[in-house]
Amino acid sequence: MRTITLINGDGIGPEISDAVVRIIDAAGLKIDWDVQTAGAEVIEAEGTPLPSRVLESIRRNKVALKAPVTTPIGKGFRSVNVQLRKELDLYANLRPCKNLPNVKTVFNDVDLIVVRENTEDLYAGIERQVDDDTAESIKIITRKASERICKFAFDYAVNNNRSEVCVVTKANIMKLSDGLFLDTYRNVSLNYPNIKTREILVDNLCMQLVQKPSQFDVLVLPNLYGDIVSDLCAGLIGGLGVAQGANIGHDCAVFEPVHGSAPDIKGQNKANPTALLLSAIEMLRYIKEFEYADKIEKALFKTLEQNICTSDLGGSADTITFTNAVISNL
């Protein structure tokens, strides 16, 4: 039996993790879940929101499924999510964005992949208070990190029959940092003569995405733009409740939805487990459990086609009702 780390998170995390574990189990795939807690709830007992046992578990099992973990805004501890990605060197954040059956949105032809650099940029966490009225954040872009994320994006395009990789920067203003990312992209692209290239500034990209998203295929972006643009793309396909993601490194991978812990609906049996379920389906493909991945995906799509969905998608099903419907469609 395969052992996989499960971080069931906080906020809506435990509700949606429960749903996904039930669905995978009902599909007939036996997984030994190595459940690890993290975040605010473990600080008191263990002195840190990300105890080393969590990292050790992922290093040991190589694969983790992760529900969202709350980060205090403006003060308090450093994001568990950012730390996890950094500690495990999960340098590629992959966020596929494709319309789902029966989920009505403005566009019905969205099929793009956001590849976000996951380890540096303004998220390196290098900040200081210069004086009482001034704060400073440092944006780090290195050739090494830019090169491996651009290679990842081009390799993804080659392996998944995609035709174009478009680089997104603000290199007209940040000539050195974004300029380095862009220059590295150009160099990497020379090794992939069959993949089309395209360069766009992030502000123009946002405008184009909300007007004609079908023109984009694979996007590769530095960390901050990637974070913002992937939420925008989530909006194109029905919102955060359906947006999946994965953090991939050389040695391990952590699959998690784009959304956060949604404290506003915590404990109300309202959360949509679809984003975590789609992340889990990609995880199953990553560990080569293709049959189970396809079986669960079919059951999910059938449930949506039956118009059974949670309130974020305009439906009336609660988390448990929706989960039961997916299970009965397996």
Q: Which of 51, 179, 235, 260 binds ligand NAI (CB under 6 A)?
A: 260
266 and 67 Cβ atoms separated by less than 8 Å = no
Residue closer to ligand NAI by CB (options 177, 261) is 261
Using rule CB under 6 A, residue 149 touches ligand NAI = no
Min dist CB 192 to ligand NAI, Å, is 30
Q: How far apart are CA 305 and CA 103, in angstroms?
A: 9
Min dist CB 7 to ligand NAI, Å, is 9
Residue closer to ligand NAI by CB (options 64, 271) is 271
Spatial strand order of the sheet with 92-98 comes to 31-36, 2-7, 63-66, 253-255, 246-248, 92-98, 111-117, 218-221, 164-169, 196-201
Min dist CB 241 to ligand NAI, Å, is 4
Min dist CB 312 to ligand NAI, Å, is 4
Using rule CB under 6 A, residue 259 touches ligand NAI = yes
Using rule CB under 6 A, residue 68 touches ligand NAI = yes
Kindly state the tokens that stand for 54: 């969590």
Using rule CB under 6 A, residue 237 touches ligand NAI = no
Taking the CB of residue 312, how many other CB atoms lie within 10 A of it? Answer: 19
Q: Which of 108, 113, 111 is nearest to 96 (CA)?
A: 113
Min dist CB 304 to ligand NAI, Å, is 14
DSSP three-state, residue 199: strand
Q: How far apart are CA 132 and CA 320, in angstroms?
A: 49
Instruction: List residues near ligand NAI by CB under 6 A.
Output: 12, 68-71, 81, 240-241, 256, 259-265, 271-272, 275, 312
